[in-house]
Amino acid sequence: MGVLQHLPCRDRVPIDAPLTLHPLPDSIPWSGAIAYLDRDGVLNIGSENYINSPSEVTLLPYAANCVARLRRSGMRIAVVTNQSPIGRGYWDSENLALIHDQIQKLLLIEDKDAILDVILHSPYVPNQNAWARKPNPGMLEAARQLIDHAESSKEWSQLSMRFADDWVERPSESDSVMVGDRISDMTAAKAFGVRSLLCPADLGLSAVINDIISPDIQ
């Protein structure tokens, strides 16, 4: 089955490996909401030629503050990013993990609360039509199940991830949001059933943050 052959991926671990979540700021309870964020053009400056190394990472203005504000509002953060350079053979998954390490490092330098709870990527090329590649919603489906299970008191061995029509009993996404700079992000959000916000790639998350949470949350 195509869905099962093209699962979303995590850095350095299997998709269903245990996920440890950092406490939200001031130990506030999780609201149940998730901010699903595209990466390039939302958190960092993108490039038509891809971000190919950690040295090419430059955060967009106020990205760290915005991530921190989302977490201070009680939301969890899930990055969902298409990364076809892996499938094209340009570089490997460890290089991507190093890029993500750098993004997280730079975010934390600017704001100690700017923690990315989970990062999911799709290594597949477009013509594979992978369920894990946006505009399909596979990465969002995986992120929700991983975060929900990590927040629960259940044993990790009890996690049974499901996708597409195989996932029947889904939680509400009424308080969640998907932020991206491309129509494929909006299409994935619609397929998943979550509100979407399109941001300009030169401003990223900061352009829409006040449409997600109150300006009073700093």
pLDDT single digits (tens) 124-159: 999 999 999 999 999 999 999 999 999 998 999 999
Q: Specify if 213 maps to a domain.
A: no
AA letter at 134: K
pLDDT single digits (tens) 156-184: 999 999 999 999 999 999 999 999 999 99
Vertex 178, ends 148 and 155: CA angle to 5°? 10
Q: Specify if 208 maps to a domain.
A: no
DSSP 3-state of 10:
strand
CATH number, domain of 32, equals 3.40.50.1000
Q: Specify if 218 maps to a domain.
A: no
Q: Specify if 215 maps to a domain.
A: no
CA pair distance 50, 29, nearest whole angstrom: 37
Domain range spanning residue 98?
2-203
* Number of domains forming the structure of the chain: 1
Name the pTM for this structure: 0.96
Q: Specify if 131 maps to a domain.
A: yes
- H or E stretch at 147: helix 138-151
CB atoms within 10 A of CB 9: 22
Q: Specify if 210 maps to a domain.
A: no
